[in-house]
Chain A
Amino acid sequence: MSAAPQRAKAGAEKIEVIVSAVLPLNDLVTRFEFKRKDGNRFPTFSAGAHTVVHMRDGDRQRLNPYSLMSDPADTETYAISVRRDDEGRGGSLFMHNNVKVGDAMEITYPVNLFSLDLRAKKHVFLAGGIGITPFMAMIAQLERSSDSWELHYSVRTEALGTYVDQLVSKYPNKVRIYYDDQSQSINLENLLDGQPLGTNVYVCGPKGMIDWVHKTAAAAGWPDANVHSEEFTAPQPGKEFQVRLCRSEKTITVGENESLLEAMEREGVDAPFLCRGGACGQCETNVVSSDGEFIHRDHWLEPDEHGNKIMPCVSRFIGKSLEIDR
């Protein structure tokens, strides 16, 4: 058995787990901890990795990616923190409302699309809200290797400051919190100015924040290679559409509230994926023919590929006909 994701396989290999703790942290965020069902140890992971949690919600299978936020060196327990999204597609609500200690679940081996650049002389983390989760693991990893880091963490209110107390008491000199409701905001230009050569910046948070960091850093002369971001796009609902899967010789309908990838899975088609968030490239599928418009929502395809490729995990289609190579 290997932990390495195989090319064009439906997801990374799975691990059977038991939910060992469910800890509400505030009104919106709950932490879930897992132990292996077979009593063995988990593989160590590199900070920034995520796992895809498989949820059995009635006859519906939900697969959501979450950043692993526990200490990467802790192979007894994996932990994720889930923010409840009342408007979302239901995965986070299912976690909050249905998952109890002792439940059996499946999660995938960790996959890292947001790794630390260990050549960096210094790491600066910029977190917005639940975007704090990958940094919890990164901080644990860097503390162990005594690397230099600092965290700038923007939260809505004190009450919604997930892990704020823990971070501030453990690392008072490395962590700075900004409260939206007190009109505090990260002074990014100032913060970027004067950082030592070889500093790397990482941002995880809402799309607007990520774009702002990339833009501000570029304007200040920072190389792209020193600015890292992770953005998972949850698939968005949209109009129902039909698609012909020419390799499987099937025509299927993608419902309003499911993604193309989910519709294929529901139909028993073995479709590749890793991140389910438009970031990894694994689900890339060739378009054989199309008459209509694509709604590309991934961060993977180049604009010139938009006519002949689609990322089924997040992207949709509106129009007369679509045929894909799957």
Chain B
Amino acid sequence: MSKFQFPESIKSRPVYGTLKARPGKYHLMIADAEGAEAILHLHEQDAGLMAKAHIIYIPKGSNLGERLRAIRPAQYYEGPTYEAAASRIERVLEATHMGTQIYLTGTEGLMGQAMRACMNAGIPHTAIQTEHRGSVARRMQCVHCKGITEDVETDPFECSHCGLNLFVRDHYSRRLAAFQGVCIDAEDPGNVPEKVELYK
């Protein structure tokens, strides 16, 4: 099973639910990796959705794309990375109208960035459904150099931009679609705790 139960945390940490078919004129589904399974599950709930669905999928090495194609969404797009899909997502959002349902599923980085795009297009975040699937890696912002490091799997980690040793916080920014990483050895440079895998 690709689902992970996140422990309870501070208020700023996003919480994810389980995708449910909702009434709508159009259904935009954005997923990466194992998120495909949540979409397949949605299809099991209500196969009728697919006639009005647009799936945007980033496989990230998984081979679930074929199965998504097989449920015959009205439109299907597969892209190598979120960045590659981003302009398409923006274009779709520009052309879409009220009555569109949004379904985001997969890693936190994917859901966060897609949610930001949806919010910028005028959809309230409370109306966007999410379901976490797959890796618990995080998209982190270094609060010092502001650089973003994708798919962080350990705590602490090294900022991929400035190289500082960063502590992984649950403090999340919806605007940046990233968690905050804070220098862990500022007071005693070099005194860096051993890396542990997130949630291990």
Residues of A within 8 A of B (CB): 119-121, 192-199, 218-226
Check A192 against B121 for contact (C-beta < 8 Å): no
| Stretch of B18-26, B33-41, B108-116, B146-154 contacting A (4+ beta carbons < 8 Å) | B18-26
In the bound complex, residues from chain B placing their C-beta under 8 Å from that of A194 are 97-98
CA distance A199 to B99 in the complex (A): 10
The answer to whether B121 touches A198, judged by C-beta atoms less than 8 angstroms apart, is yes
Contacting pair A220 B23 (CB below 8 A):
yes
Most buried by B among A193, A196, A221: A221
Bound complex: CA of A134 vs CA of B97, how far in Å? 27
**Is B101 interfacial (CB-CB < 8 Å)?**
yes
Which residues of B lie under 8 Å from residue A221 when comparing CB positions?
22-26, 98-101
Residues 152-163 of B, flagged 1 when their CB comes within 8 A of A and 0 if not, give 000000000000
Q: Specify the chain A residue showing the minimal Cβ separation from B27.
A: A221
Q: Is the C-beta of B48 less than 8 angstroms from some C-beta in chain A?
A: no
Main SS of chain B's interface residues?
Answer: loop
- Residue picked from A120, A121, A197, A224, most chain B C-beta under 10 Å: A197
Asked if residues B126 and A192 are in contact (CB atoms below 8 Å), the reply is no
Question: Which size class do B's interface residues fall under?
Answer: 10 to 19
* Complex contact A121–B122 (CB within 8 A): yes
Q: How far is the CB of A222 from chain B (nearest CB, A)?
A: 6
Residues on A with beta carbons closer than 8 Å to the beta carbon of B124: 223, 225-226
Q: Are A192 and B99 in contact (CB-based, < 8 A)?
A: yes
B83-100 contact mask (Cβ, 8 Å, vs A): 1 or 0? 000000000010011111
Q: B10: CB under 8 A from chain A?
A: no
Q: Is B123 in the interface zone, CB < 8 Å from A?
A: yes
In the complex, per-residue mask of B186-197: 1 if CB is within 8 Å of any chain A CB, else 0: 000000000000
- Would you call A223 and B127 a contact (CB within 8 A)? yes
Interfacial chain B residues near A218, Cβ < 8 Å: 23
B118-160 toward A: CB 8 Å interface, digit per residue (1/0)? 0001111011000000000000000000000000000000000
In this complex, which of B22, B93, B101, B127 has the most chain A Cβ atoms within 10 angstroms of its Cβ?
A: B127
Contact of B122 among A120, A192, A219 (CB under 8 A): A120
Q: Are B98 and A192 in contact (CB under 8 A)?
A: yes
Give the top 3 A-B pairs by smallest Cβ distance, nearest first.
A198-B122, A223-B127, A221-B24
